[in-house]
Amino acid sequence: MNTRGAVALLVAIALAVAVRAHADEPALERIVIDGSINPAVAEYVREGIARASAEGRAALVIQLDTPGGLLQSARAVVKDILGAPLPVIVYVAPSGAGAASAGVFVTMAGHVAAMAPGTSIGAAHPVGGRGEEIPGVMGKKLESFTASFSESIARQRGRNVEWAMKAVRKSASLSADEAARLKVVDFVARDLTEVVKRSKGRTVDVAGAEQVLDLTPTIGTDGHARVVDYQMRLAYRVLNILADPNVAYILMTAGLLGLYVEFTHPGAVLPGIAGTICLLLALTALQVLSVNYGGLALLIVGVALLIAEAFLPTFGVLGVGGLVAFVLGSLFLFDTERTGVEVARGLVAGAAGALALAAVVVGTLVWRTQRRRPVGGPEGMVGVIGVARQRLDPQGTVLVRGEYWTATSDETVQPGESVEITGIEGLRLHVRPAGARRP
């Protein structure tokens, strides 16, 4: 080997050793939640914890900015954080971000809970799909369950139990400084490097074992914490969009409406294709949402009745029944009592109105088609005007639609005179002078 080759080999070995040494340096793994908490986010957190543990990271950082989300998904996230095999730091950031509603539970569940300056936390009272109060016994039961859930998290992590319950029952909110002062979170930090420094020496319970935190080895020579970001997979990004109950409902309604148009107008093709795609996307979303199958069945029955109305002369009975079934199915589509998830009432009203309008338009077109005079066959010849080519007394030849026919008339018709067909028997027409009064 010549000198140049030896030098190149040594440089390659040195680079490999340097890369390997850098890869072995302690680092934090970070996942970013910027939006609602839903089943896709819950899977993202579960994957992030598993990956951080498998890669031997010093801790997992959940950078959080959320307006809230599904209680069922928040419970799944909290469960994974509480049972994580490595420390989990929940950091509400950047400035201007917030941990509202379900975000309160996720923040308090962290082994370390920190907030950036200018952030907020609170307002964890359970609400419906569009932020409205859930009325009656259902609302009280859900509030009591959520309050006990919040209390148990705060108690386990040694945080402010009284405020945790107040956030649920009275929708209390706090700024970052107030949250740190009331011990809702551990401290306020400008960035992750400060989070690492301020978390040093804290004793946390990791998978049932007490551990004294010292994450300062993750701080590099540049003075900043080494962070490895783990991005949400594409499939979960799509599911993150679809897992909104209102989006799922819109897709389902659009899918059913497209199939309704396709069934009532066979051969249109485009409504059928679009409807099928929307329906499949809706079913994908419903798989991760808590669906009431009775409500789903009512939706399908409602659309089936509306389709039947277009073909059966029930004078609107099936249509009204279908519309009622559709609205009831929409209201019962999700298990609201257990999860707090429901479709916005305005959206239900809009979808029902659109479906009713489509049914009226289709029904009107079908009615007009049924009343339209036939244009083909023997029935289509009645009322057509022709011209006599021979004298009809009573029989002769007439020209109708470019064809010569043998015709008979009860009245004498002269050649060139216009005649109106009154009937057809085999290949013989019955005619009368055009304009003559009907008996």
Please write the tens of the pLDDT for every residue from 281-327: 888 777 766 677 788 888 888 878 877 776 676 666 777 788 888 88
- Give the other-Cβ count within 10 Å of 233's Cβ: 13
| CA-based nearest residue to 374, from 366, 388, 384 | 384
Distances (CA, A) of 24 to 59, 85, 337, 373, 387: 14, 19, 49, 85, 100
The whole-number pLDDT of residue 140 equals: 78
Residue 325, φ and ψ in degrees, nearest 5:
-65, -40
The whole-number pLDDT of residue 341 equals: 57
Q: Is 62 in contact with 34 (CB distance < 8 Å)?
A: no
What confidence tens digit (pLDDT) does each residue in 109-124 have? 999 999 999 999 998 8
For the chain, what percent of residues have pLDDT higher than 90?
34
In this structure, whether the domain defined by 377-433 belongs to CATH 3.40.50.1100 is answered with no
Pairwise CA distance, residues 307 & 223, whole Å: 68
Q: Where are the domains of the chain?
A: 3-238, 244-371, 377-433
Distances (CA, A) of 162 to 45, 98, 147, 177: 28, 20, 10, 18
DSSP 117: T
Average pLDDT over residues 225-249: 84
Most confidently modeled of 112-121, 218-227, 413-422? 112-121
In this structure, whether the domain defined by 3-238 belongs to CATH 3.40.50.2000 is answered with no
| H-assigned helices in 84-233 | 102-109, 136-157, 161-169, 176-181, 192-198
Average pLDDT over residues 406-418: 87
Q: What is the secondary structure of 123-149 as a DSSP string? A: ----B-TTS-B--HHHHHHHHHHHHHH
For the chain, what percent of residues have pLDDT higher than 70?
81
The whole-number pLDDT of residue 413 equals: 87
Residues of 145-170 as b/e, b for ≥16 C-beta within 10 angstroms? bbbebbeebbeebebbbebbbbbbee
pLDDT interval class at 332 (50, 70, 90): confident
pLDDT interval class at 262 (50, 70, 90): confident
The whole-number pLDDT of residue 394 equals: 86
Cis amide linkage into residue 85, ω under 30° from 0? no
Average pLDDT over residues 49-62: 94
What would you report as the CA-atom Rg of the chain, rounded to the nearest whole angstrom?
Answer: 37
Average pLDDT over residues 228-234: 90
Interhelix angle for 161-169 vs 136-157, to 10°?
Answer: 160
Beta strands across the sheet bearing 227-229: 187-188, 112-115, 88-92, 59-65, 28-34, 227-229
> How far from each other are the two terminal CA atoms of the chain, in whole angstroms?
118
The answer for residues whose C-beta is within 8 angstroms of residue 413's C-beta and 6 or more apart is 388, 391, 392, 393, 396, 419, 431, 433
DSSP 225: B
- Average pLDDT of the chain is 82
Q: What own/partner pairs with CB < 8 Å and gap ≥ 24 does 6-13 have?
A: none
What confidence tens digit (pLDDT) does each residue in 354-407 have? 777 777 776 676 666 655 555 555 566 777 888 998 888 888 899 988 888 889
